[in-house]
A and B are shown apart, each in its own frame.
Chain A
Amino acid sequence: MTDGMADHMTDLADPPLLSVRGCRQAYHKDAAADLLVLDDVALTLREHEMVALLGRSGSGKSTLLRIIAGLLRPTAGEVLWHGSALDGPPEGVAMVFQSFALFPWLTVQANVELGLEARGIPRAERTRRALEAIDLIGLDGFENAYPKELSGGMRQRVGLARALVVHPDLLLMDEPFSALDVLTAETLRTDLIDLWIERRLPVKSVLMVTHNIEEAVLMCDRILVFAVNPGRVEHELAVNLPHPRNRQDPAFRQKVEDIYALMTRRPAPAPPAAPGPAPAARVVPLHRVGTNLMAGLMETLAGAPYHGRADLPALAAALQLETDELFPLGETLQMLGFAELAEGDILLTEAGRGFASAETDARKALFAAALRAHVPVVATIRQVLDERWNHRAAAVRFRDELEDHMSADYAEDTLRVAIAWGRYAELYGYDEEAEQFFLEDAA
């Protein structure tokens, strides 16, 4: 970190390419206080650096990227681009999308020319520059193809060429490789890094959003680790390994381990937990994690070679799980009291071991108990159903309650998860047609 700071000291005289200060983004909600997606985010980008925004899905990092791209206006705070405030998408910023966002009715060439056309550059010049970018990014021969004829990797190359052709000062990339398979993603990463270190990329700086820890360490000079609820930059690390970087290099592994440890660090316990009844659990969005996946992970952890404890990076590699899948899974187990995350490791608790060795019905009972103890929304649903004379209750009231604590989309997702988990635990049933919960034995 100190090294990174030293780097910055040298060019402090220039205004930074981009600076974000005190940026807040909130959902507006009539009933409750505003729900924060981003809180007091600050970041500065200088020329000639590649920076990663690393965080879980739902941490607001894509929202921040859209604010920087001028596609969203923050609720509060300022975004300075070359020293002046941003109003709409600025010239000199180009974006690469996770979903590629190619126009299916335009050929590769026409897609690449789009940004030039928007600037009113004459046809001949457009063609020349587009061919140049197509050549740079390795798409020769595909000029006349339509996106649907291309593989995912080729499509993202078009996305890259389209962004590079306008020679942006800042290239924004929103999880650019996460929709690709492992090998294709790796090829694209190394191609991009090669162009970057050879200084052949016609950009000054790159800001990429990712949830892939290794990707961030492999590519970037600086990593901003995002925390969730609300989203904010929690840590900043410099990566000073020389390119090309080797994933097996001990220094590389150590960096990855460090970041895993940072990301699994428990939030500082607020007041010392008083003995007695556990404090009421906070209503938080539930991750979309299936019960089969949870059971599978607990069985795996209980057995050899892990015997109840596993190193997260190793586990992710062994199970071929993206960090974006592994973290929600681990956190869900932690929330339910079946496992604990600490220092980049996952540990199975007593309850977790019990679950792993139990039969189906016993598992359901354990799961039901864990849900009622640790998941407020499930506990509430069951309690309301128990109290009602007909043991039925409309889903909409629970959704409304959830919306006091989270956005409508998250509330919907969380309710879906509560339905699935409750069904598995046989705590209640759900009638999709009537949108009502009901008690199974009463019906």
Chain B
Amino acid sequence: MSSTIFPALASARRRSNLWDAAAFLCVFGALVAVGHVARGTLAPLAAPGAVSVRLDPAFLPGYAVRTTLRMFAALFASLVFTFTYATAAAKSRRAGMILIPILDILQSVPILGFLTFTVVFFMNLFPGRVLGLELAAIFAVFTSQAWNMAFSFYQALTTLPADLAEAADSFRLTGWQRFWRLEVPFAMPGLVWNTMLSMSGGWFFVVAAEAISVGDNTWKLPGIGSYVALALERRDLAAVAWAILAMLVVILAYDQLLFRPLVAWSDKFRFETTASATAEDPWVLKLMRRTILLNRIGDAAGVLAATIGGMRLALPVRLPVLGRGRAGPPSRAVDALWLAMLVAVLGWAGWRIVQFVGAELSWAEVGHAVLLGSFTLLRVAVVMAIACAIWVPLGVWIGLRPAWARRVQPVAQFLAAFPANLLFPVVVVGIVRFRLNADIFLTPLMLLGTQWYVLFNVVAGAAAFPGDLREVAANFRVGGWLWWRSVALPGIFPYLVTGLITASGAAWNAAIVTEVASWGSTQLTAHGLGAYIAVATARGDMARVMLGIVVMSAYVVAFNRMLWRPLHEFAIRRMTY
């Protein structure tokens, strides 16, 4: 866990903010383009009525499998994206100039806001067929997974150990060999860890993406998410309970069968020169290593992978060796041409955004959205504060007791993966029953899914606290508030910041789902930007959805730049051992 990469901050040392603006224009220009294509064709789209979902629990296992398959399809797409996009960004200076800021903005955009655009877009590609919906759902999950994976890979590519890179060059490895022998293995621990975080986040989105309403159309894809949506419509609490149970089983299986073994296996790629004490292998990995049949299969797969990775595929042109300026200083003229091209594209994108939003919306509307954004910001801040107040003391207590930490850590990671939106109905029922204030009582929903990031990071931080410093504190009888202020809190601070960054990112996204909740025909709406986007989506009001997303992205980006990034840098500079 010590190698956790903080995707939101991976590009922290990048210089200019001009590129951020450029990336902003790029991302939303593309969105407008998709929305534009989508808008005109919204009406004639027929809802594929053939797909129906039933509440009988006997159907649940099948639904669970379909939901899981969507997850893995998206994961595959994310990996392909990671290997291509990040490689291009790392190997070409000119591509990297714009690709990396775009990635930075993309991971700040609330993905649920996208859904409207992408569903309509994919339905247009495959009119009247389920495939379009499937692709839209998979794409939604992809957008929740790909960015931080790509970032971690990019970061690995730009921090390759110089001596290994030289060894690879001096033994004349081809680009393909270098990729599979040096670059991918070096990136592996960070990539696996980020994939795990991505998957955890992905369950949330796959559940949300299976039942989508745009305007008057509602589409449902068979899966756990649509099952829950139907249960909500029918006010069937038992069905909700069944769905939660099914999800628990699915996540437990994926956690035990896939990710624990994968994380343990990726440890072998950790770049360190000393052998460190390693945790016991997860049972699945043991099984694979000790069962003869599985062992054979594993070996065969290994040989195949080694053969593919060892092939001497090379580009017909020899690429210059990265980062060593073999080719001399870059050409100014080509740079200028490239910049001019970018500026042209950006100018056009900016113009289209203004045109698109400006045609229907006034400045007052923008002001309204910004105001709503500040409500949501307040909610996010309160939720983070509550999470800290609860989980920092508990997390430190647990982390300092290794026996407890070992048991709690997997549970916290497991809970972080559980899609909190499945639990919303339970809370909503309570709010409806007791006629509580939606503005206040919908807020804790955000906490449901996000608090675990804070917990497991704090536990990790406390567990990594150096023993000798603890002994010093005990020796000088440092206790009470002084102990917290000068020993524990600074000790876990970098970990806490990491946890809060992840949690707050998730909280912004959750706002779109949590600020509006329904139970049968009762609909609860809180004041906030999330509700604004959700309501506009339900009405099919593309311009307002667009405005909402832009404002929310601006909030997230500003938050990252002005609070999290400086905090993270401070933590790294001053509070690491």
Closest to A148 in B: B275
A268–B173 CA distance with the chains assembled, in angstroms: 47
Q: Cβ of B171 and Cβ of A114 under 8 Å apart?
A: yes
Measured between beta carbons, the chain A residues less than 8 angstroms from B217 are none
Interface string of A106-135 (1 = CB under 8 A from B): 100010001101111000000000000000
- Given the known interface contacts A101-B164, A104-B271, A104-B272, the answer about A71 and B329 at a Cβ–Cβ threshold of 8 Å is no
Q: Cβ of B167 and Cβ of A101 under 8 Å apart?
A: yes
Measured between beta carbons, the chain B residues less than 8 angstroms from A142 are none
Instruction: Say if the beta carbon of A50 comes within 8 Å of chain B.
Output: no
Interface string of A55-99 (1 = CB under 8 A from B): 000000000001001111100000000000000110101110111
A91–B271 CA distance with the chains assembled, in angstroms: 28
Q: Cβ of B273 and Cβ of A101 under 8 Å apart?
A: no
Closest to A95 in B: B170
Residues of A within 8 A of B (CB-CB), count: 35
Measured between beta carbons, the chain B residues less than 8 angstroms from A88 are 172, 318, 321, 326
Q: Cβ of B171 and Cβ of A166 under 8 Å apart?
A: yes
Instruction: Say if the beta carbon of A266 comes within 8 Å of chain B.
Output: no
Which residues of chain B in 325-357 are interfacial with respect to chain A, using CB atoms and an 8 Å cutoff? Answer: 326, 328-329
In this complex, the member of B172, B306, B326 whose beta carbon has the largest number of chain A beta carbons within 10 angstroms is B172
Measured between beta carbons, the chain B residues less than 8 angstroms from A306 are none
- Residue of B169, B185, B318 touching A105 (CB-CB under 8 A): B185
Q: Cβ of A69 and Cβ of B170 under 8 Å apart?
A: yes
Interface string of B520-535 (1 = CB under 8 A from A): 0000000000000000
Measured between beta carbons, the chain A residues less than 8 angstroms from B470 are none
- Given the known interface contacts A88-B318, A117-B310, the answer about A71 and B171 at a Cβ–Cβ threshold of 8 Å is no
Instruction: Say if the beta carbon of A149 comes within 8 Å of chain B.
Output: yes
A148–B161 CA distance with the chains assembled, in angstroms: 16
Which residues of chain B in 561-575 are interfacial with respect to chain A, using CB atoms and an 8 Å cutoff? Answer: none
Binds A, one of B87-95, B151-159, B174-182, B500-508: B174-182
Q: Cβ of B172 and Cβ of A105 under 8 Å apart?
A: no
Measured between beta carbons, the chain A residues less than 8 angstroms from B401 are none
Q: Cβ of B163 and Cβ of A71 under 8 Å apart?
A: no
Interface string of B410-441 (1 = CB under 8 A from A): 00000000000000000000000000000000
- Given the known interface contacts A28-B329, A118-B173, A118-B174, the answer about A148 and B274 at a Cβ–Cβ threshold of 8 Å is yes
When A and B form their complex, what is the total count of cross-chain residue pairs whose Cβ atoms lie within 8 Å?
82
A72–B320 CA distance with the chains assembled, in angstroms: 11
Measured between beta carbons, the chain A residues less than 8 angstroms from B173 are 114, 118
Q: Cβ of A94 and Cβ of B166 under 8 Å apart?
A: no
Instruction: Say if the beta carbon of B234 comes within 8 Å of chain A.
Output: no
Instruction: Say if the beta carbon of B15 comes within 8 Å of chain A.
Output: no
Q: Cβ of B164 and Cβ of A72 under 8 Å apart?
A: no
Measured between beta carbons, the chain A residues less than 8 angstroms from B166 are 66, 69, 71, 95, 97, 101
Q: Cβ of A114 and Cβ of B181 under 8 Å apart?
A: yes
Measured between beta carbons, the chain A residues less than 8 angstroms from B312 are 118, 120
Q: Cβ of B326 and Cβ of A99 under 8 Å apart?
A: no
A95–B271 CA distance with the chains assembled, in angstroms: 21
Measured between beta carbons, the chain B residues less than 8 angstroms from A148 are 272-275
Instruction: Say if the beta carbon of B76 comes within 8 Å of chain A.
Output: no
A148–B274 CA distance with the chains assembled, in angstroms: 5
- Given the known interface contacts A120-B312, A146-B268, the answer about A71 and B177 at a Cβ–Cβ threshold of 8 Å is no
In this complex, the member of A28, A66, A104 whose beta carbon has the largest number of chain B beta carbons within 10 angstroms is A104
Closest to B275 in A: A148
Instruction: Say if the beta carbon of B324 comes within 8 Å of chain A.
Output: yes
Interface string of B361-405 (1 = CB under 8 A from A): 000000000000000000000000000000000000000000000
Instruction: Say if the beta carbon of B270 comes within 8 Å of chain A.
Output: yes
Q: Cβ of B324 and Cβ of A118 under 8 Å apart?
A: no
Q: Cβ of A105 and Cβ of B310 under 8 Å apart?
A: no
- Residue of B161, B188, B269, B324 touching A72 (CB-CB under 8 A): B324
- Given the known interface contacts A89-B172, A118-B177, A148-B274, the answer about A72 and B329 at a Cβ–Cβ threshold of 8 Å is no
For residue B383, give the distance in angstroms from its CB to the closest CB of chain A.
31
For residue B472, give the distance in angstroms from its CB to the closest CB of chain A.
23
Q: Cβ of A118 and Cβ of B329 under 8 Å apart?
A: no
For residue B541, give the distance in angstroms from its CB to the closest CB of chain A.
49
Interface string of A26-48 (1 = CB under 8 A from B): 00100000000000000000000
- Residue of B164, B174, B326 touching A103 (CB-CB under 8 A): B164
- Residue of A89, A104, A117 touching B170 (CB-CB under 8 A): A89
Measured between beta carbons, the chain B residues less than 8 angstroms from A110 are 306
Q: Cβ of A97 and Cβ of B163 under 8 Å apart?
A: yes
A69–B164 CA distance with the chains assembled, in angstroms: 14
- Residue of A91, A97, A103, A106 touching B172 (CB-CB under 8 A): A91
Interface string of A130-155 (1 = CB under 8 A from B): 00000000000000001111000000
Measured between beta carbons, the chain B residues less than 8 angstroms from A94 are 170-171
For residue B511, give the distance in angstroms from its CB to the closest CB of chain A.
36
For residue B2, give the distance in angstroms from its CB to the closest CB of chain A.
16
Measured between beta carbons, the chain B residues less than 8 angstroms from A166 are 171
Closest to B268 in A: A105
Closest to A97 in B: B163
Which residues of chain A in 271-316 are interfacial with respect to chain B, using CB atoms and an 8 Å cutoff? Answer: none
Closest to B303 in A: A123
- Residue of A73, A114, A115, A118 touching B326 (CB-CB under 8 A): A73
In this complex, the member of A100, A115, A119, A148 whose beta carbon has the largest number of chain B beta carbons within 10 angstroms is A148
A95–B170 CA distance with the chains assembled, in angstroms: 7
Q: Cβ of B269 and Cβ of A105 under 8 Å apart?
A: yes
Q: Cβ of A117 and Cβ of B164 under 8 Å apart?
A: no
Closest to B328 in A: A73
Which residues of chain A in 165-188 are interfacial with respect to chain B, using CB atoms and an 8 Å cutoff? Answer: 166
Measured between beta carbons, the chain A residues less than 8 angstroms from B171 are 89, 94, 114-115, 118, 162, 166
- Given the known interface contacts A28-B329, A99-B163, A114-B181, the answer about A89 and B169 at a Cβ–Cβ threshold of 8 Å is yes
Q: Cβ of A93 and Cβ of B273 under 8 Å apart?
A: no
- Residue of B274, B275, B321 touching A71 (CB-CB under 8 A): B321
A166–B172 CA distance with the chains assembled, in angstroms: 12
For residue B332, give the distance in angstroms from its CB to the closest CB of chain A.
13
For residue A155, give the distance in angstroms from its CB to the closest CB of chain B.
8
Q: Cβ of A103 and Cβ of B275 under 8 Å apart?
A: no
Measured between beta carbons, the chain A residues less than 8 angstroms from B324 are 71-72
A88–B271 CA distance with the chains assembled, in angstroms: 27
For residue A410, give the distance in angstroms from its CB to the closest CB of chain B.
17
A103–B171 CA distance with the chains assembled, in angstroms: 13
Measured between beta carbons, the chain B residues less than 8 angstroms from A162 are 171
Which residues of A approach B to under 8 Å, CB–CB? 28, 66, 69-73, 88-89, 91, 93-95, 97-101, 103-106, 110, 114-115, 117-120, 146-149, 162, 166
Q: Beyond A117-B310, A148-B273: 4 further Cβ-contacts under 8 Å?
A: A101-B161, A103-B164, A103-B181, A106-B181
A-B CB contact pairs (8 Å), 18 listed: A69-B170, A72-B326, A88-B172, A88-B326, A94-B170, A97-B166, A101-B166, A104-B268, A106-B181, A114-B171, A114-B173, A115-B171, A118-B173, A118-B174, A118-B177, A119-B172, A120-B312, A146-B268
Which residues of B approach A to under 8 Å, CB–CB? 161, 163-164, 166-167, 169-174, 177, 181-182, 185, 188, 268-275, 306, 310, 312, 318, 321, 324, 326, 328-329
